[in-house]
């Protein structure tokens, strides 16, 4: 099979109206959860939605939608995405090509970059209102490939309230600026915890750190997502589509 060209990649995504990359220089901030919640937000509104899991070394999207054992099928010369159970969200992840959920991907950067182009360019996305791209941590091969080759309409930056997270996330914002990619705004995950017994709100990891970023770079502050036991439980069960709260209710895109 010949390597897919940039022209072929663009042509295969031409029916996708809006592409959003979910990014953070820091690992463990909940990019996959944010990607899934954003996809469900659009699906609940009746939009046609897809998710591309670009984190090949630690794919999490299949787990959130209980698709760990699902496999991509081939129809003609195209890959067919797997569909989420409740809303029919189209999901493509390297996990769906591996022999088992615990099989590691031990690849160097250039191979990952090439496979990202292959999967995006050979998948039958058809018409989509939104394609959500869940990026891995860092500012290396995978994010660079997405920002340069796919050219998303915008980037959603995810952080948590800790100083360390904010400092590393800032690198992603600067990367987006250097590559002339629009940052749609900042999502602060794990912002606070509300005690189920007394209702007290506790800022476990600190408060106001994300404000430093959106004021410094003049970005929109999209939403705060708390530490939520119900969200955690449904994520662990692979039933994130059943989570009722919509933290992106006022997301303007």
The binding site for ATP consists of 25-32
Residues in binding site: 25-32
| Cα 247 → chain centroid | 15
Longest dimension (CA), the chain: 61
Rounded CA separation 135/23 (Å): 6
Can you say whether the dihedral through the CA atoms of 66, 68, 73, 79 is positive or negative?
Answer: positive
Contact 191, 198 (CB under 8 A): no
> Which of 33, 167, 56, 42 minimizes the C-alpha distance to 107?
56
Which whole-number Å values give the CA distances from 111 to 1, 114, 137, 147, in the listed order?
A: 15, 5, 17, 17
3-state secondary structure of 108: coil
The two tokens of residue 119 are: 């999967």
CA distance 123 to 96: 13
């Amino acid at each position: 099979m010949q390597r897919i060209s940039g022209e072929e990649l663009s042509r295969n995504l031409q029916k996708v109206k809006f592409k959003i990359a979910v990014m953070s220089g820091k690992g463990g901030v909940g990019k996959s959860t944010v990607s899934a919640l954003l996809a469900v937000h659009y699906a609940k509104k009746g939009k046609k939605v897809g998710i591309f899991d670009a984190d090949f070394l630690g794919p999490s999207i299949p787990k959130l939608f209980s698709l760990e054992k699902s496999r991509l099928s081939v129809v003609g010369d195209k890959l067919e995405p797997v569909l989420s159970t409740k809303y029919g969200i189209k999901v493509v992840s390297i996990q769906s090509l591996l022999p088992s959920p615990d099989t590691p991907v031990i690849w160097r950067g250039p191979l990952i970059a090439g496979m990202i182009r292959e999967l995006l360019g050979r998948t039958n996305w058809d018409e989509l209102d939104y394609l959500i791209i869940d990026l891995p941590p860092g500012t290396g091969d995978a994010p660079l490939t997405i920002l340069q080759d796919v050219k998303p309409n915008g980037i959603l930056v995810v952080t948590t309230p800790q100083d360390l997270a904010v400092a590393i996330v800032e690198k992603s914002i600067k990367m987006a600026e250097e590559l002339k990619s629009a940052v749609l705004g900042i999502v602060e995950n794990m912002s606070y915890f509300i005690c189920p017994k007394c209702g007290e709100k506790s800022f476990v990891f600190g408060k106001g750190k994300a404000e430093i970023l959106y004021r410094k770079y003049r970005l929109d502050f999209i939403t705060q997502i708390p530490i939520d036991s119900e969200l955690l439980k449904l994520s662990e069960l692979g039933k994130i589509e059943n989570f009722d709260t919509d933290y992106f209710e006022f997301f303007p895109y």
